Structure 1
Amino acid sequence: MSAPLSAAQVVASELSIAPARVAAVEALLGDGATIPFIARYRKEQTGEMDEVVLRAVHDALARFAALDARRTAVLKSLAERDLLTDDLRQQIATAPTLAELEDVYLPYRPKRVTRATKARERGLEPLAALLLRDPDARPAEVAAASVDPERGVNTVDDALAGARDIIAEVIAEDRQTRSELRDCFGRQSVIASARSRRQKDNPRADVYRDYFAWSEPASRVRSHRVLAMLRGEREGFLVVHVAPPADAALAIVRRRWVGGRAERGLQMELAAADSYERLLLPSLETERKNELAAAAADAAAGVFAANLRDLLLAPPLGAKRVLAVDPGFRTGCKVVCLDEHGGL
């Protein structure tokens, strides 16, 4: 098993910076140094990094720390329940993002009572496993053996419905399926908003009237629109959805799970559609919304910073000549003289 990469190695690879420089920044931040202090007084340790690069390193280290903390919690949870294997430990150690780490953990996460849980309690897991394993299975025939009125499985249809619930959960927890769908959500999602019916008579909703029937590709949506739509949703005036075309998403699930004899294919088709609509879509939609919200917040902060920079760099005294002194006790004072036009 290969040793896990350190925070400095991961961040260095992500930002194309020498690992030793990242390690130096990590140590300085760990000692409580601020980014402005490091940029000004520790240039020899960081390789002349400016505040922009230092901020990128700081944020990447924070993301790694969050991932590492979650990784530790997942390992502890699995170990406490005697579920941790060498292969699972390796998958957890090499998961590059929080989303992919959660995909690894999903099948082992302690579950609330679900439709699949109830189906397993009624003894329908062997039937589901058979339908998953055997493309030539005859569902009606094999389901007959699972009919058990004492367990609440009164008919063949009851047995097949329970087996589909289990299969839907298996599909929703499959890493490959989630990975392909996540890529689809990233490339093809449309963000759409509509007026909430519960607030249709509230005059305050008119603040968001531009978004009562709005849709556009999520990959091109402007940050201020994302923030406005999500704010309207939080306040209860809008309903916002982010998803790719249903046909495109379902095609991914069908390609991986549906096939075999016609009767078996029908059961798998029903389970696949249910898995996507009931389990995968809500999960991945929330994930994509959070990504859009984070990107929009970063973009808004960038606009604010640029505007503030212009204000701070505006001539404070108007068209006046200025002599500026930067005091320095160790290296001496720096002096600059600007004319009324800002020239040296």
Structure 2
Amino acid sequence: KAMAADLNCDIKDLIQKPELRKQVNRKKYITETVGELTINDILKELEKPGRDPREQIEEFRFDDNVKTMDDLKPGMKLPGIVTNITNFGAFVDIGVKQDGLVHISQLSNTFVSDPNQVVKLQQRVMVTVTEVDPSRKRIALTMKDASSPTQSGNREPRPAAGKPQHANKPGSKPATAAPLNPFQAKLAELKKKMDK
């Protein structure tokens, strides 16, 4: 207001007319609490009126076609908001009364040890419905990208843990697995006696 008053104009003129802003004596408005940089910032902001320097807020909308669990079908892609994070996954509000669960194994195409590494509370996410169970009020969701191959889809299945993989030679008899504990050994011994 003081700048406009000193130039015998109103604030609207100061905003609209660059020649008036150039006439402002910047040093006159510098005080102990307002420095030259602040005055320069004020004049720069007058050049672009109506511009809000804060970040834009994106409006979020749930899918208008989904109001109840009965509207959900496997394969539907829906926007949602993360409402809770647990050790076993994340709960996502998709616009029905019941939040859906994205199990930890469904958070990403890569291995996830901690759901907090992938999602944050109130984060906006896109999910795909994988299963709906209205009787138990459960909605299973995934955040995996169906278009990119999963890690397990790129490799052959591996043998069960703890069992060595040996190719049998022709004519040799198949190897029998060694008992894993003393109880199994005694059980196998008893079974042999019973078979005789």
The two structures have a TM-score, normalised by structure 1, of 0.16
- When normalised by structure 2's length, the TM-score is 0.24
Of Structure 1 and Structure 2, the greater strand share is in 2
